[in-house]
Amino acid sequence: QVQLVESGGAVVQPGRSLKISCVASGFTFSNYGMHWVRQAPGKGLEWVAFISYDGINKYYADSVKGRFTLSRDNSKNTMYLQMNSLRPDDTAVFYCAKPEIGAFDIWGQGTKVTVSS
Amino acid sequence: SYELTQPPSVSVSPGQTASITCSGDKLGDIYASWYQQRPGQSPVLVIYQDVVRPSGIPERFSGSTSGNTVTLTISGTQPVDEADYYCQAWDSGTALYVFGPGTKVTVL
């Protein structure tokens, strides 16, 4: 069964850092680039970042560029999102998503990040 | 930045047809996908490559395209189809991924 499981969400103060994770199972993780998508409370979906299958190429939304960093460990089937200088408008549910022909065919259940003092 | 436009809401009676449009100036040249998101749940892919339905998605969901507009059609809408629907575009040349603002479908 293809599955993505996010973890690491928490309540953090503005300006602090947080690292969230996504563990994949049921498919060959090392063959796929992976994405993070977030959803602020009551708002729509926002694409956040992409990392290539080998971890070499990374792309970020302008809203997080310079603050968020993607990495992955293919030996652990895990992708990470290091979030620095967090702001209240980063408050969201963060989903990891597997791409397939330009779409996101598998989503995790999400991990909630709240930035508040 | 690239933007997609969707109507905020669509209302439909049970058994009738709901159509949700998504417009963007590149949609004639790039692929679009559609996602269903029920309250408190993760999004589910219902259409990709403009018109392809993934396995397990009911046949009442279909996609079409015309010029710079893509459309998700739900035929014979059921109460279980009440959800938010998002279009998403992908430009392989620029690695551009963007979501539309979403459309709330209400089955009255």
User: How far is C-alpha B104 from the chain's CA centre?
Assistant: 11
Give which of A10, A17, A25 is closest to A79, Cα–Cα.
A25
Tokens of B38: 């029920």
Contact B86 A45 (CB under 8 A): yes
- pLDDT score for B64: 96
In angstroms, the CA B95 to CA A24 distance is: 22
Q: State the pLDDT confidence band at B2, using cuts at 50, 70 and 90.
A: confident
Amino acid at A26: G
Distances (CA, A) of B43 to A45, A61, B17, B38, B99: 9, 20, 22, 7, 12
**Chain segment A56-68, per-residue pLDDT in tens:** 999 999 999 999 9
Give the pLDDT confidence score for residue B91 in this predicted structure.
77
Say yes or no: B24 contacts chain A, CB-CB below 8 A: no
* Nearest CB partner across the interface for A107, out of B1, B43, B88: B43
Partner-chain contact A107 B42, CB within 8 Å? yes
Residue A24: which of A51, A59, A63, A44 has the closest Cα? Answer: A51
pLDDT of B28 > 90? The answer is: no
For residue B90, the cross-strand partners are B31, B97
- CA-atom Rg of chain B in angstroms: 13
Q: CA-to-CA distance for B104 and B100, rounded, in angstroms?
A: 12
The answer to whether the Cβ–Cβ distance between A62 and B1 falls below 8 Å is yes
Residues of chain A with confidence (pLDDT) below 70: none
Q: What is the pLDDT of residues B31-77, one digit of tens each?
A: 999 999 999 999 999 999 999 999 999 999 999 999 999 999 999 99
Is the pLDDT score of B94 beyond 80?
Answer: no
